[in-house]
Structure 1
Amino acid sequence: MILERKRPPSDHVVLPVFYHVDPSHVRKQTESIGKAFARHQKSQSPEKVKGWRKALAEVADLAGMVLQNQADGYESKFIKKIVKVIGDKLSRTLLSVEPKLIGIQFQVERINLWLQDGSSDVGILLVYGMSGVGKTTIAKHVYNSNFRSFKGSSFIENIKERADRPNGLVQIQMQLLYDILIGRKVKIQTVGEGIIKIESAISSRKVLLVLDDVDHMDQLDAVLKMKDRFYPGSKILITTRRERLLRAHQVTKVYKVETLNYNESLELFSWHAFGQDRPKENYMEHSKMVVQHSVGLPLALKVLGSSLSGKSMDVWESALEKLKVIPNDDHDQKLFLHIACFLIGRDKNYIVRILDGCDFYTIVGIENLVDRCLVTIDGYNKVQMHDLIRDMGREIVRHESEESGKRSRLWRHKDSFEVLREKNGTRTIQGLALDMHMHLANRPINTNETVLETNAFERMRNLQLLHLSHVRLHGCYADFPTRLRWLCWLQFPLDSIHVDLPFKCLIVLEMQHSSLRQVWKGTKFLPSLKILDVSHSHSLIEIMDFTLCPSLEELILVDCTSLIDVHESIGNLERLVYLNTKDCKNLRMLPKNMCMLKSLEKLILTGCSNLKEFPVEMMKKMVSLKVFEIDGIPISELWPERSSTILSSFPCSLLELSLMGCNLSDDDFCRDLSSLSSLRKLKLAENPICSLPGFIKGLRRLDKLSFKGCNRLESLVGLPKVRQRMSIAGCISLRKIIPLSPEPWSATYRVDDNWNLVEWEYLYKLEPIDRVDVEMIKLLGLCNLESMPAIRMNSQLFSHPKVSHVQVRLSLSLSLSLISCI
């Protein structure tokens, strides 16, 4: 009867205790046990006695505890040991899961069969599928059904998220050891140390290990690098969104979790919305509409069902209105699907430029998507989307056709590669992404297979968005799709772009990390091009004639280290708003007609350390310039004859100015710079200045001010009010700060390691101990200074709600200085 409770579905744990009994006597039924069976055979049926014999033989083979020592006191210790073992086993509790296995019962049973096959091999099962499809739920049910059959077990959830935290991999290793060793804590300092300790733990016992939501090999290496050391019969189950996370020879079995069918979806939704297996009668039609929106994703069904549970019909109808964008084939749905498949994480304005050219009303459309909680705009103006929402959108596209070449968008590298290799693309395709490095990851590389033909795109007449990375194409480009709006081709392999590429409609061209030496050979008119980005193209020596792209708004040349000059026609770009030549270390000159860039708002020259000519005297004509960054350029060397008046040449429209590491001294600043009174952000970090530049006193609108790393700075007298943040970290010579106003409370001052700061007027002042009243010294308990240890004190001055903590170090010696609040 006990052994029956050990088997499914009960799955109880059986712990045999051999109390003054040899387990071999139980197994073979000899000695006193044999005599007892001889008596029972006379009074019981043969079938019953046979069952008893079989049961005892099975019990004897179970891992148990044996008492054979007759010494005094040993029996008491043995009983305590039994209690501890049972307590440890009870500590391996079940994971919390929903009791109803709607749509996943069959999948759980299939994995259980694999786990319970009795094999002594170390097995690895990869369970993959999109976010929200139920991978974790399945893994939890499988774990609960099987962990008691193993000597040790561990279920580690959310590995992707946890691994990104500080010391995340070590924390994962520590949990694994704690679980497998049943509550024994093991300290680990490094991942390498953890690998050694895990190897020791898993080599002596059969374990069940579940690693949930893994997305990178580093995460697996931290716990599976010693795979060959696992005890025979151990099983490892991995859930992931990446089908090719492991190479084929590294896994025993791969299992894909599919979305639910319509009936399963309706049942799961109903349990969460109504607490029963079908919708209430008057909510039937609304429920069906919600289920259609959820495209079979269990997580979406649960979230929507729970959010609508107990709500009125008005709330249901409002929710359905917000969801209408997803299933309906309208403007906002197409916009949503483009973002979900290709443009997540891109700047909002960047997306607007691309998709406006695809006949979208993008600004209004994005606002609609934000209103429906389908996308968000982060603090950096990036368009973001929850993984679940993204995968819902991609699932809609996947359901368009069983054939990849007949879907509107191809974002999976495997699908894109197969369509291009087989040349079976169609007019339906509007967007395609292919990263050959991602596609070939963990696969043997066939050199012939990696080169594709240009005519593979010939039938994709409606292709608008194309994202390629590490892709090589052979052939003629004359028949390339003519409706391309966005071409992002990272690691472009050629030294120039084919002149026969049909780019009449192209709006954005990105060629980062390319092998380009020149953008085009000959001439190529690009009337619609708004953004050109050839950053990190280290071989680029020549930029095209800009009269061929009159609509250009953004030119990005970051880290083009072979570029010496910029074509003089740049002055003709009437719409250019952004120019970035950061780290173009060999750039020698910028054309004088740059002053004609009347629309330019942001100019970045940071790191152009060899710049010899720059039309600074013409900068005042850049009437729209708001942001100017010239970090790392020694201004006094660039314009030695007029370095003291250089700032007066900057346009009055500036809101942000960065002069970090420009070798500026006090003499390089003129006293009156009222023309820069609109500045909101000023960075003077890492300059050899000694005192506050006089012109700063007139800057009454500053939000941020930085002197970080100005190690010669001694005083800031006349400091204006800074609204958000002022950084003086690393200003090791700074002694005195005297603000213009007695209440600069709204700023957050960073005084990291500024222990030499002795006076901050209106806040505190440090004075020599001999100037402090004797009675005050006694009250403070500072009479016997020489015997007192060093003190570091955190003090909140004035208890003003907007005053941050200021760290003050008191060196308690005969030359002690004491805080004296004024």
Structure 2
Amino acid sequence: MYVCIPHFISKNQKTQMATVMATSSSRPVAATVPHKKYDVFINFRGHDTRVGFTSHLESALCRNYFLTYTDYRIKSGKKIWDELVKAMNESTLFLVVFSENYADSSWCLDELVEIMKCRRKSRQVVVLPVFYRIEPSYVRKQTGSYGAALARHSQGHRDSHIQLWKDALREAGNLSGFHVTEKRSESAWIEDINKAVLKTLRYKYKNELTFNFKTDENYSKIQSSINFDSSKVQIIGIWGAKGIGKTAIVAAMFQNFSCKYQGTCFLEKVAEESKRNGINFTYKKLVSTLLGEDVNIDTPIVMSSMVIRRLKGMKAFIVLDDVRSPETLKTLIRERGGWLGAGSIVIVTTRDEDVLKSGGISNTHKVRNSLRISYLNKFTISLPKQGFLELSRKAIHYVNCNPIALKVLRSFHRLYTSEIDWKCALAKLKEISNAKIMRWTYKFQIWGTGQVWALFQAYRSMKVMFGHSVRLIEK
């Protein structure tokens, strides 16, 4: 049997998971992971573990509100095996739960053969075996219940088919995984497996919104100012002009480090949401997200002792994005984070440095322009191609490294492949003021870059045709 789970939120793990991570990460990995529909495919013997261990494992992975692919998703009239093979080829990580009677099922064994094929075909595929209350040697050497099951299968299957099963069992059995025994509770094992899966996938995927900031000066300075091993609550302030890249930087940091924390919360557009719904709503959202449940809070000033107790026992990673008033900041972080657990981190972004100073935040950083960060974020390649470096520098300089305006420029990289095309595009762009580009992208930022670019082209065409200004959205 099988279960497929799309997407994930990553967390930390210890002991046996370190071995798993070391093994999986030792395989060469391409710079960009091909997009696959599913993150996790669970292969297991339904008779042994469906009701207990596997169902609890699946629930642990789904507690972060992610969709589960199960057999009921196979549409009637379609061939089950074809649908399974398709799902396996669209999965990044496989959990194979080897149980006492696993080898009794020819279906499970056929799935395992296909899983190992997927692993051999792609370096991005990871297989984590889980030896559930059996000796791993049973799988590697086909002894015990596995040897007996294969002997029974030999009477109804060809020798070549049996050999495929044996090879797959041997290959999977030699991989680092988890030996689940009765020495620990199943919930503890499941927590470790869940964390290992999430941790592994975290290194497999490139987040479309955060990209690679490791070489950016802004990111490096902010990261170096944070002591991730400290037991103190740390509050970091980041300030800079609108659209300079503050949110992108903290999003990358949140993506890279939040996995090590029990409670996480990324509150976007704090000023806008607080103005629209009230500060109480924003504070309730913060606390509820950290605790993972809806919490009834009438006012930020008064919290039940139980809620405070739970929050103080939790190591949290919080981002408060776009805070514009000292009052909002003081309300949300309350007593300089005294209600948070040891080792918690709070990152605040704002346009006004005085907001941070008034809020008592001393660890502050001003975000400055960077050619590399702008190019990495908006053109999604590691370095400008030969011959395009000077053109990209001019383009980025023209929009003052503003990430919002660069959403339009990003389409140049997709549409124009020659240096001549780029020069023509930039010549057209210079005819339009940066302020107008900013207004278009701001008003239409819910659209994709292609749609924004279509608007830009339409505007240019109409202006040329009619010979006068076209005031699309100035109103």
Q: What TM-score results when the alignment is normalised by the length of structure 1?
A: 0.28
Of the two structures, which has the highest relative contact order with CA contacts closer than 8 Å and spacing of 6 or more? 2
Structure with greater Cα Rg = 1
